[in-house]
Every structure is written in C-alpha cells, then in structure tokens.
Chain A
Amino acid sequence: MTDSTPSRYTGTAIVLHWLLGLGLVTSFALGLYMADLPLSPQRLKLYNWHKWAGVTILAFSFVRLAWRLMHKPPADLPMSPVQRGAAHAAHNVLYVLFFAVPLVGWAYSSAAGFPIVAFGVLPLPDFVPVDKALAQAIKPWHERLAWLMAIVVLAHVAAALKHHFIDRDNILSRMWLQKQ
C-alpha cells in the first residue's frame, strides 16, 4: 500500500460502506412496508424508527463524504472506459441520494406537521414550514428518489458481482475487511 495509489479502501471507508449499505436497505424495506399499514401504534412506531434511521444515515453520510474527500480511493481496475464511466457516475448519483433521500423525507415530515425527534429525545429543526399542500408535493419525491437509489444500488451490486464472479478480478477484496 502506498499513499498515492492504495490497492484497497481504508478500514473506515469499508465499515461506513457496509454499515450504511445495511442501513439503507433496511430503511428502504421498512419504508415500503410501513406506508401501506393502517393507522395503529405499530405503524406510528415504524414511522418513527424509519425517521430515526433516516437522520442517522444522513449524519453518517456527512462523515462518509468527508472521509471520501480526504482519502484517495483505490485505483480503477482495468475495464472499458464505458464501464469506468458508468461505475463513477453510479457512485456520484449514490452520494447525492445519500443526502437527498433523507433530506426530502425530513422536509416531508416537517411540512406534514410532524417534526422529527431523533430517538424520541432530540428534536430536530424544521427547515420547511408546516404546510399541507407542500407536504403533498414533497411526499412522492421521497419515494421516487428512494426508488432511484434502489435501482442504482442494484446496478452497483450487480456490477460488483459481475466483476467478482465473471471477470474474476477480485474487486470485492478492496471493500472487504482484511484478515489480520
């Protein structure tokens, strides 16, 4: 490992990648499930968990972005320019969505008149006014952006698996914690 061209991601980047990946998949599944539930204490609980998870992901995404900007990622593996372009574009879109999806969800919650109180104890500020019409306008965008993220994540996973199992270029080892 040299400073200029590391062969793998840093330990912190790896931990953040898998932790946030798990958080995003779980929050997405929870969001899909809870949206169709009838009003009940269960639904109320899941909505709050979803919001708490969302703002936690948002906070860690800032850490992740800062880390990414301060630490050089490993060099690209040999691949066609189209593949390389697609991979980087997907990463960039994902980084934008890491912020956009939770922020739009937060805005919806605020506009709907339900300010977020993280973990039931930490009230977060509203950055949009309480406005029913605004809430209705924002709502579909949280869902659309989340679906866009799901699609890009699927493409990202499919590409990684293709590299690993078809190209056999051992790409996953760059994002896997090294055995000590």
Chain B
Amino acid sequence: MKTSTKTYFATVALALLASTAMPACAQQKLLPAQSEISFTSKQMGVPVDGKFKKFDAQVAFDPKKPDAAKIALTIDLASASLGAAETEAELAKPDWFSIKQFPQATFESTSVKALGGGKFDVAGKLNIKGSSRDVIVPVALAQAGTNTTASGAFTIKRLDFRIGDGDWKDTSMVANDVQVKFKLSLTGVPTL
C-alpha cells in the first residue's frame, strides 16, 4: 500500500513536472541546408571571407520565456572553407585551428535578454582551440510560416583564441578582429 502510494505521488509529480517543463524544453530543430555561419578576416586590409559547412545547434527557445532559453552550437572546424585550397590546408595546422587537437568550436548560452521587436542579446561562452571567452551575440529573429531565422553578427579577437599563432601573431598582417556572421534557420520556434 505504502509503495503504491509513493508510486502514485511520484507519477503525479512527474506528470506535473512534465506538463509544465515540456513546452520550455520543446527542442527546436536546425535546418542546416538553410543555415550559414561565415567569418571575415582582414589580411593587410583585404577582407577574406570564409564559412563553416558543418555545424549543429541544440536550441530550446521560446521568445516569450527568454530566461529559460538554452542555445548550444557545435561547429566542425575542419569544415571551414576559405576559397583557396592552400589557405584551407594552413587553417588545420597548429598555428591556426589545430584541428587534430581541437576539432570543434562550441558556444553555450548563459543568458538571453529580450530587447523587443524580435531582437535578443544572447550571452554565452565561446570555446575555440581550448580557450573560452564570454561573448554577447545580438540575434534578430524573423518568422515566416513554420520557419524562424535567427541572424546576427559579432566580432571576436582571434588572438584571444590563439588563432594565427607564431609568425602570424602580427596583427598588421592579419587583423585581430574577425567578424562572425550567422543565419540559423529553425523549425518549431513558438511565435514571437
């Protein structure tokens, strides 16, 4: 009798928890084919564009409950494309991404602040090549049908992550500022 009561309460508790927690936990799905993450560095003033072909996102986000949002991104650094084959080969090396040791870059949100009008500031930790930095990423949401596009841009300092080490540390050759731009297409995001 005692056990079944316990089981009963446990079940009710779980059901309650599930009913309240479920909507917030509802996972949104990334549509990789319609998403882009690109970056622009400057070599002696010349903008050089690159992009990552492979990345994934785990998103639990309700625009009405930004406090409960959890956004995590994993970027496959070996998928970086830079237009020229010889620079791509260079990127994998220890002075740059050191892909053998650090195959992935990650971002994990710590807090999300609603700014109104579909705009949010997503604060989180960006981890590249074993270095972690706090970043604030401005994100603008646009919804069309069942799809939500989250886009934005932010700037990182490459030397914070030892990207371009050794001979390449000279920022008069390759600027320290690297602009990262993204457009993530998601399904299942509740309406704004």
**Could you mark each residue 140-175 of chain B with 1 if its beta carbon is under 8 Å from any beta carbon of chain A, else 0?**
000000000000000000000000000110100110
Contact with B along A157-175 (1 / 0, CB 8 A): 0000000000000000000
> Is A113's CB under 8 angstroms from B83's CB?
yes
C-alpha spacing A119/B45, complex, angstroms: 8
Q: Is B13 part of the binding interface, using a Cβ–Cβ cutoff of 8 Å?
A: no
Main secondary structure of the interface of B (DSSP, over half): mixed
A40-B167, A41-B168, A113-B83 known; A48+B90 contact, CB < 8 A? no
Q: Residue-by-residue, is A108-123 near B (CB-CB < 8 Å gives 1, otherwise 0)?
A: 0000111111011101
Q: Which residue of B lies closest to A48 (CB)?
A: B44
User: B84 and A115: CB pair below 8 A?
Assistant: no
Contact residues of B between 30 and 67, Cβ < 8 Å to A: 43-49
Asked whether A39 is an interface residue with its Cβ less than 8 Å from the other chain, the reply is yes
Given A41-B173, A132-B83, answer yes or no on A48-B46 (Cβ-Cβ < 8 Å). yes
Given the interface contacts A41-B167, A44-B173, A132-B83, does A117 sit within 8 Å of B49 by beta carbon?
no
Q: Is there an interface contact between B48 and A114, defined as CB atoms closer than 8 Å?
A: yes
A144 at interface, CB cutoff 8 A: no
- The size class of the interface chain B forms with chain A is 10 to 19
For the A-B complex, the count of residue pairs with Cβ-Cβ distances under 8 Å equals 40
Expressed in whole angstroms, the minimum distance between the Cβ of A162 and any Cβ of chain B is 43
Query: What separation, in Å, do the CA atoms of A119 and B172 have in the docked complex?
Result: 12
Contact A39 B167 (CB under 8 A): no
Q: Which of A82-124 contact B (CB under 8 A)?
A: 112-117, 119-121, 123
Of B44, B84, B90, the residue contacting A112 (CB under 8 A) is B84
Q: Is A45 an interface residue (CB 8 A)?
A: yes
B46 touching A115, Cβ below 8 Å: yes
Q: Which residue of B lies closest to A114 (CB)?
A: B46
Contacting residues, chain B, for A117 (C-beta < 8 A) = 44-46
Whether A113 contacts B48 by the Cβ 8 Å rule is yes
Q: Which B residues from 62 to 88 make CB contacts under 8 A with A? A: 83-84, 86-87
CA distance A46 to B174 in the complex (A): 14
Contacts of A114 in B (CB 8 A): 43, 46, 48
Q: Mark A123-137, 1 if CB is under 8 A from B, else 0.
A: 100000010100000
Chain A residues with CB under 8 A of B168: 41
Cross-chain contact B83 with A112 (CB below 8 angstroms):
yes
Q: In the bound complex, how far is the Cα of B48 from the Cα of A119, in angstroms?
A: 16
Known: A112-B83, A132-B83. 5 other contacts (CB 8 A): A41-B170, A44-B43, A44-B173, A45-B44, A123-B45
Interface residues of A (CB under 8 A from B): 39-41, 44-45, 48, 112-117, 119-121, 123, 130, 132
Q: List 29 A-B contacts (CB under 8 A).
A: A39-B86, A39-B87, A39-B90, A40-B167, A41-B168, A41-B170, A44-B43, A45-B44, A45-B173, A48-B43, A48-B44, A48-B46, A112-B84, A113-B83, A113-B84, A114-B43, A114-B46, A114-B48, A115-B47, A116-B46, A117-B44, A117-B45, A117-B46, A119-B45, A120-B44, A120-B45, A121-B45, A130-B83, A132-B83
Q: Which 8 A-B pairs have the closest CB atoms?
A: A120-B45, A117-B45, A113-B83, A48-B44, A41-B173, A117-B46, A120-B44, A41-B167
